Amino acid sequence: MATLKELSRVEERFVGGHRLCAGCGHGISVRMILNAVEDANVVVGCATGCLEVASTIYPYTAWNCSFIHNAFENAGATISGVEAAYRALKKRGKIDRDFKFIAFGGDGGTYDIGLQSLSGAMERGHNIVYVCLDNGAYMNTGIQRSSATPTGADTTTSPAGKVIPGKQQPRKDLTAIMAAHNISYAAQTAINNWQDVHKKAKKAIEVEGPAFLNVLSPCPRGWRYNTPDIVQITKLAVETRFWPLYEVENGKWKLNYKPKKYVPVEEFLKPQGRFRHLFKPGNEHLIKAIQEEVDSRWLALLERCGETPELPPR
């Protein structure tokens, strides 16, 4: 494991001057992942989303590497096409350098709109890495619900009112869907633990064949928490088991972090404005339902990872 001192010597591939909001989780995640590439040449593709519209406003680009522009639904298809073209040219001896291929997508462009092209790219077995930066809604267009939005969250298309308390449906488990493609590597990680992100990004890049990373990347605007607390809020998501850290390597599930203590999911919901309505009197059953969902998902995950399915001690 490289230290920060060594990593800080790696060339910056996502430079300042992009127009992401102050304190955006995407900037942190992208810098961590591209830092793990180290000296290799890299080609980046980006599905439409906050990251894409904020980093490549013509005539500027924040990407200090090759970048290919995409529509919302085809980041997986484009990057697999680029990879196939690269392999063909390499075979004919027209390219002599080695390249790595990374696609970034938000949760809207991955969970919903880009799922078919991503699924195709994974099935065809291209040597690519797809990174989903999950901030739990379509933040770019004004915080609309996506299938990554957690139950009970207040968004502009699932507003919390007198009758309906935010989003009704549970969240889609995309990492498990990707693992079901039997790809070389699929992992879920969060930026509060940079060693974990670095290790998983490095593994994903080095592995032969398709790899998928799901990174929890908080959005201060959409989640409505105090901007500097980004690490604390991500840590709470991991500690409350809302966002477990695990990886699936060639079909083998492995849990990377097991909280030592039982932390109720309220701790994660409380600092966020999008869940404020859940703490009004009379809404206790909603929090209880969210807690039950989190617990049942955690037990199912433990079983998949071959560990004893039990909740952490209170």
Which member of 81, 124, 177, 194 binds other proteins (CB under 8 A)?
Answer: 194
* From candidates 2, 177, 180, 231, binder to other proteins by CB under 8 A: 231
Nearer to other proteins, 40 or 300 (CB): 40
Binding residues for other proteins restricted to 10-49, rule: CB under 8 A? 12-28, 31-32
Work out which of 9, 94, 260, 314 binds other proteins, going by CB under 8 A: 9
Binding range to other proteins, per CB under 8 A, among 8-16, 164-172, 180-188, 244-252 = 8-16
Hey, which residues between 200 and 229 contact other proteins (CB under 8 A)?
220, 227-229
Task: Tell me if 230 contacts other proteins by CB under 8 A.
Answer: yes
Encoding tokens for residue 70? 């995409």
58's CB contacts (< 8 A; 6+ apart) are: none
DSSP 99-160: EEEEEEEEHIIIIITTHHHHHHHHHHT-S-EEEEEE-SSBTTTT-B--TTSPTT--BTTB-B
Burial 30-41 (b: 16+ CB within 10 A, else e): bebbbbbbeeee
Distance of closest approach, residue 193 Cβ to other proteins, in angstroms: 11
276, 278, 283, 286 alpha-carbon torsion, rounded to 10°: 180
Q: Which is nearer to other proteins, 13 or 277 (CB)?
A: 13
State both tokens at 233. Answer: 């809020």
Residue 18 or 203: the one with the smaller Cβ distance to other proteins is 18
Angle, vertex CA 81, rays to CA 119 and CA 113, nearest 5: 40
Q: Is 67 in the site for other proteins (CB under 8 A)?
A: yes
- Comparing CA positions, the residue from 239, 221, 231, 214 lying closest to residue 109 is 214
Which span sits near other proteins by CB under 8 A: 51-59, 128-136, 144-152, 254-262?
51-59
The contact set with other proteins (CB under 8 A) reads 4-9, 12-28, 31-32, 55-56, 58-67, 191, 194, 220, 227-232
